[in-house]
Amino acid sequence: MSSDICLVIFDVDGTLIDSQASILASMKSAFTGLDLPVPTREETLSVVGLSLPVVMARLAPEQDAAIQARLVEGYKAGFNALRHSGGGDAISPLYPQALEVLGQLAARDEVFLGIATGKSRRGLDHLFDLHGFGPIFHTVQVADDHPSKPHPSMVETCLKQTGVAAQRAVIVGDTTYDIEMGRAAGIHALGVNWGYHSADMLMAAGARQVLPNFGALPDQLDEIWSET
């Protein structure tokens, strides 16, 4: 693999997709289905990006493993119902400029694109079908196949599949879990200020910068790669 090749790995929820409405609705469905108190908006959004079993263990720590597993299944069922209700663009829209910037990066021969998400394969495939951007990604890692973030497994697999050196790779995400995952794998990390964790939290976790909008990403990437 050429040493000139670069890799940009994107988180999905809160980074590419504004999935807040669907996440909150699915969480409400899971908890009300078992007659349990529904977590607050803040509690729910604070754990976006983690794998569902970890999410439910954090949101319902007083419940045993069997109940937590039922919450996971209830969340999946609620999300699946939303998928089939129509209006996918309304409940899972792309953030402004996301598709445009992804297209710009995909057009560069020296740039590979990847995904590292806490979503399931089924959930991600739905978004690929909805927005049509699946083919531009060279490597795609989902929660089904890896430990939960911030474990570096997803990033390490992206590097292995593309053959890109860690110093030429960047993770872009909205949560401390994304930043910590990237740092643990030895790659650069950029935060975004439109997701679910604050800019201060992202910088404290080790983000190099927190992007104010998607349009700022290409220049930040070029700056990083000019140094490596």
Over 70: is that where the pLDDT of 137 sits?
yes
User: How many Å apart are CA 96 and CA 216, to the nearest integer?
Assistant: 12
- For residue 199, pLDDT beyond 90: yes
Do 60 and 68 meet the contact criterion of CB atoms below 8 Å apart? yes
Which amino acid type is present at position 93?
Answer: P
**Res. 54 pLDDT band, cuts 50 70 90:** very high
| Token duo for residue 213 | 């909008």
The per-residue pLDDT for 83 is: 77
Q: At residue 28, does pLDDT exceed 80? A: yes
8 Å CB contact between 59 and 187: no
Give the contacts of 71 (CB within 8 A, at least 6 positions apart): 30, 31, 34, 36, 56, 59, 60, 63
If you average pLDDT over residues 84-96, what whole number do you get?
Answer: 74
Pairing verdict, β 169-173 and 6-10: parallel
Count each helix (H run) and each strand (E run) in the chain, helices first.
11, 6
Mean pLDDT over each residue of the chain, to the nearest integer: 93
For residues 89-117, give the mean pLDDT. 92
Q: Which residues pair with 111 in a beta bridge?
A: 6
Binned at pLDDT 50, 70 and 90, residue 132 comes out as: very high
Among 182, 215, 183, 186, residue whose Cα is nearest residue 10: 182
Instruction: Report the pLDDT value the prediction gives residue 1, as an integer from 0 to 100.
Output: 43
> Is the pLDDT score of 3 beyond 90?
no
Average pLDDT over residues 24-46: 95
Which pTM does this prediction carry? 0.90
**pLDDT above 90 (res 202):** yes
Q: With a cut of 70, say whether residue 87 has pLDDT above it.
A: no
Start-to-end Cα distance in the chain: 16
* Confidence at residue 4, expressed as pLDDT on a 0 to 100 scale: 87
Closest to 202 measured CA to CA, from 165, 171, 169? 171
Region 4-10 average pLDDT:
96
How many other C-beta atoms can be found within 10 angstroms of the C-beta atom of residue 128?
Answer: 16
pLDDT at 210: 98
